[in-house]
Chains A and B, each alone.
Chain A
Amino acid sequence: MTQHTRAKSEIFTPSGQIQFGVFFQGVNSGTIWKAAESGSQTDFESFRRIAQTAERGLFAAFFLGEGLRLREHLGRPHALDVVGRPDAQTMLAALASVTKNIGLVATQNTTYNDPADLAHRLASLDLISGGRAAWNIVTTDNAWTGANFRRGGYLDHADRYKHAEAFVETAKRIWDSWETPDGPASRVLHQGQRYTVDVTPRLPRSAQYRPVLFQAGDSPEGRNFAARQADVIFSAHPKFDDAVDFRKDLVERSVAAGRGANAVQIMPASEFILAPTAAEAAEKKEWVRSLQIGPQQAIAYLEQFWGRELSTYDPDGPLPEIDPVVEETSETRGSGFHGAKARQLADQWRAEAKDKGLSIRQFVTSKTARIDSTFTGSYTAVADHLAEYARVGAVDGFNISPWLIPTGLDDIVNHLVPELQERGVYPTEYRGSTLREHLGLETPVRTADEAAAAVRA
């Protein structure tokens, strides 16, 4: 009842708590594969170890990312970073059998799936896991990724969210279709521009009613979409002041969408570099950065903006004086970079690097490392800092990308979590058995029940 009041209020109320999720696995320079401690990225044991460690640390959720075409660099698959990962839902179904509580979040694309099929598979994962499944909703608009699919993939950029929203609403209707836990299911029809669905759903509601919805878009359209549809937004704003601003913005959008100020939770992407003392943590950070951005990665990073081979340049020397061969940067396909005016950018970067006295490698490290999303320091200092986020409700939690697999969560679980628990800002047990319960989310109201209640009132 109090939950209900809280969610419908137009005034945001901080929960006073933060939670953790783990994001596995980044197909980018963030994951170190060169250290002696770097384990397999594909063996099931790595996944099991991370998920079970996270569960020991009472993490709310284990996330898997998705990329449906391998990133390319100068026309060939990008060779320098970790690459190759499993189908998210298949892996999560397997992890469901070796974990008991942790939420299982699958990143899945609305552009290359059918609503009825994806909704059925997510409902399957939700049931098999006893109500622990979530869907991190992503959209793609490029024909380049579509080359791997029957349907192709080109969507007008502006239409992405329109189609995604129709998709998500259809999925919700499918999950809502069983009137009681024993059925019967009602038929779901959707006639849209991109999707046509006519299905009698086959699965009942799960212990958490239906999968929890995560969303990661950051544009105004993305934020509005999250405000209307999502339970949790996986944001890109972990820095304190940015996080506070983002919360304010999202609360406004969520209230405007009629869902109340507390309806959408926020978990920014983050990285933790921790040690017993600040000095040790700083030293560790140097080591982490040196392995994340090696000499070849630094050169490759510039190559994607210069559009040409730069392998003869010294990574420890200044930025290339030679100009880019392209007008627009071609981007590493699939990595999310967007095109920019190449020559202008090169001039700007050369000036910046010269100004700060940075070598290629130092400059690229400053551009690519998760500067804004990294928490570096002693266990106690970082715990104090995170407690401040909890106090003001800047975020509901952090989605942690470990830089080492499979041991990258060990110090967080062994040292940071107890410090946070001592400060009263982190759970000391799982609140229930479902992800919705861990996050303190309200049980959704079935669309038809809502309509019936409105008629009675």
Chain B
Amino acid sequence: MSTFKKPGFLAIELDGAGWDGADLARAVLAAESAGFHAATFTDAPVPARANALQRAAFAGPVTHTIALVPEVDTVYTEPFHVSTQLASLDYVSRGRAGWIATAADAPEAAAAVGRSAVTGAALGQEAAASIEVSRRLWDSWEDDAVIRDVATGRYIDVDKLHYVDFQTPAGFAGVGYSVKGPSIIPRPLQGQLPVLVPASLLGEVRADAVDAVLVSAPAAELLAAEVRDVRARVGASIAVIAELDVVLDARGQDAAARDASFDGGRAAFAGSAAGLTDFLADLLKEADGVRLHPASLFVDVEELGRLVLPELRRRGALRPVAQGGTFRDLLGLERPASRYATAAAAAPAGAGK
């Protein structure tokens, strides 16, 4: 039983359900009924994998409690589109959307859109800029901007819409850009979607710009220490989520005998459900959450839901799944006011422009 921190949460990467609607629905419903708190959708460019944000959107109307968190690249995308797409995901999932902000570093990603490859520290700068654009645009409509005031004939109160006037900062390594705003969609249901980044982007991306950090280690026994290191860097208010590949003894086969080809760079656990339960119970004393990458989506989700999650719940290591809750609720985050709501100095859209 955890002593000093509240119970943790479990996320599962749904890679393996690539593009077929029926497969996607089956996978996300299996994860939800297994008791996972969040599902993530990788967007790494491999064949037969549909756009991650659309996979998450498809899952929105068919699920009720599980948070839906796609990866969306920040380097070769238009920040204005990314912001609109994520806000829309929040609407179709009734407030259960999040964003794993990634920075594509493959030269192929640059070639696809005819841009020069971005490398090194510039990747983090692109991520930081894109996150800032989204956050400003999500705030650019105050919560009560739609007034539907029949007497004055106004659908919106224009004083509650704001230009964001983003400009990439001095020293920005890539091609600088600006975004005017306001958003073309009202404020997301959560106000601000939770933003997650891999720990590798911290530095250029400031910890206070994100809500959670994904932490990897080369081996399972190093993961808890890595989580402690990142925790020391980001402080207690940012969720730290450990990344773990998982292959379980399943369907009469030892984990060792099952063909598990993980893509490397992440700690892996191979073994029994009981062993994994103990491992996660310990890890969740350090980490706020753990994201599992199952070797075989449908096989391992079944075992996890049957043997691992119920036991972790019994031990009090997992927070409850809240009916009607948002992803922010799960992370223990308040719904923030729009940054423009109280700032009288910030010019409403159009004033003096």
Binding site for B on A (CB under 8 A): 33-34, 38, 41-44, 48, 67-70, 72, 75-77, 79-87, 89-91, 93-98, 112-114, 116-117, 120-121, 123-125, 127-130, 147-151, 183, 185, 195-200, 202-204, 294-297
Contacts of B148 in A (CB 8 A): 33-34, 38
Q: List 9 A-B contacts (CB under 8 A).
A: A70-B161, A89-B54, A93-B53, A97-B25, A112-B81, A128-B50, A150-B78, A198-B114, A203-B49
* B159 nearest CB across to chain A (Å): 9
Given A128-B21, A296-B152, residue A91 in contact with residue B48 (CB < 8 A)? no
- The main secondary structure of chain A at its interface with chain B is loop
Evaluate contact between A148 and B92: CB separation under 8 angstroms: no
* A332 nearest CB across to chain B (Å): 13
Q: Which 6 residue pairs of A and B lie closest in terms of their CB atoms, listed nearest first?
A: A196-B114, A76-B350, A296-B153, A94-B92, A124-B50, A86-B88
Interface size classification for chain B: 35 or more
* A437 nearest CB across to chain B (Å): 17
Residue of A nearest to B147 (CB): A79
Evaluate contact between B61 and A97: CB separation under 8 angstroms: yes
Among B281-312, those with CB < 8 Å from A are none
> Would you call B236 an interface residue if the criterion is a C-beta within 8 Å of the partner chain's C-beta atoms?
no
Evaluate contact between B48 and A203: CB separation under 8 angstroms: yes
Additional A-B contact list (12), CB under 8 Å, known A90-B88, A116-B112, A127-B20? A44-B60, A44-B92, A48-B61, A70-B161, A70-B184, A85-B184, A86-B87, A97-B61, A114-B113, A124-B54, A151-B78, A203-B50
> Would you call B237 an interface residue if the criterion is a C-beta within 8 Å of the partner chain's C-beta atoms?
no
* A146 nearest CB across to chain B (Å): 9
Evaluate contact between A97 and B62: CB separation under 8 angstroms: yes
Contacts of B49 in A (CB 8 A): 202-203
> Would you call B200 an interface residue if the criterion is a C-beta within 8 Å of the partner chain's C-beta atoms?
no
Which residue from B20, B58, B80, B175 sits with its C-beta under 8 Å from A93? B58
Binding site for A on B (CB under 8 A): 19-21, 24-25, 45-51, 53-55, 57-62, 76-81, 84-85, 87-89, 91-92, 94, 108, 111-114, 141, 146, 148, 150, 152-158, 161, 175, 177-182, 184-186, 348-351, 353
Evaluate contact between B51 and A81: CB separation under 8 angstroms: no
Given A77-B161, A114-B113, A121-B54, residue A69 in contact with residue B154 (CB < 8 A)? no
Evaluate contact between B59 and A97: CB separation under 8 angstroms: yes
Contacts of A150 in B (CB 8 A): 78-79, 175, 177
Evaluate contact between A84 and B112: CB separation under 8 angstroms: no
Cα-based distance from A295 to B151 in the complex (angstroms): 10
Evaluate contact between A147 and B178: CB separation under 8 angstroms: yes
Which residue from A33, A97, A198 sits with its C-beta under 8 Å from B112? A198
Contacts of B51 in A (CB 8 A): 120-121, 124-125
Residue of B nearest to A95 (CB): B61
Evaluate contact between B47 and A67: CB separation under 8 angstroms: no
Residue of A nearest to B349 (CB): A77
Cα-based distance from A125 to B57 in the complex (angstroms): 10
Contacts of B91 in A (CB 8 A): 42-44, 86, 91
Contacts of A69 in B (CB 8 A): 180, 184
Evaluate contact between A79 and B184: CB separation under 8 angstroms: no
Evaluate contact between A117 and B112: CB separation under 8 angstroms: yes
Evaluate contact between B58 and A94: CB separation under 8 angstroms: yes
Cα-based distance from A41 to B76 in the complex (angstroms): 31
Cα-based distance from A223 to B243 in the complex (angstroms): 53
Residue of A nearest to B182 (CB): A70
Instruction: Choose among A33, A98, A150 the residue with the greatest number of B CB atoms under 10 Å from its CB.
Output: A150
Contacts of B152 in A (CB 8 A): 296
Given A77-B161, A147-B180, A197-B114, residue A185 in contact with residue B47 (CB < 8 A)? yes
Evaluate contact between A197 and B112: CB separation under 8 angstroms: yes
Instruction: Choose among A75, A86, A149 the residue with the greatest number of B CB atoms under 10 Å from its CB.
Output: A86
* B336 nearest CB across to chain A (Å): 19
Cα-based distance from A116 to B76 in the complex (angstroms): 11
Evaluate contact between B88 and A91: CB separation under 8 angstroms: yes
Cα-based distance from A121 to B56 in the complex (angstroms): 13
* B177 nearest CB across to chain A (Å): 4
Evaluate contact between A87 and B156: CB separation under 8 angstroms: no
Evaluate contact between B88 and A124: CB separation under 8 angstroms: no
Residue of B nearest to A98 (CB): B61
Cα-based distance from A150 to B89 in the complex (angstroms): 22
Evaluate contact between B79 and A96: CB separation under 8 angstroms: no
Residue of A nearest to B73 (CB): A117
Cα-based distance from A227 to B76 in the complex (angstroms): 33
Instruction: Choose among B49, B61, B111, B161 the residue with the greatest number of A CB atoms under 10 Å from its CB.
Output: B61
Contacts of A82 in B (CB 8 A): 155
Contacts of A112 in B (CB 8 A): 78, 80-81
Evaluate contact between B92 and A91: CB separation under 8 angstroms: yes
Which residue from B92, B108, B155 sits with its C-beta under 8 Å from A81? B155
Cα-based distance from A34 to B186 in the complex (angstroms): 19
Contacts of B180 in A (CB 8 A): 69, 147-148
Residue of A nearest to B63 (CB): A97
Residue of A nearest to B47 (CB): A202
Instruction: Choose among A34, A69, A127 the residue with the greatest number of B CB atoms under 10 Å from its CB.
Output: A127
Given A85-B184, A117-B112, residue A90 in contact with residue B92 (CB < 8 A)? yes
Which residue from A79, A117, A183 sits with its C-beta under 8 Å from B155? A79
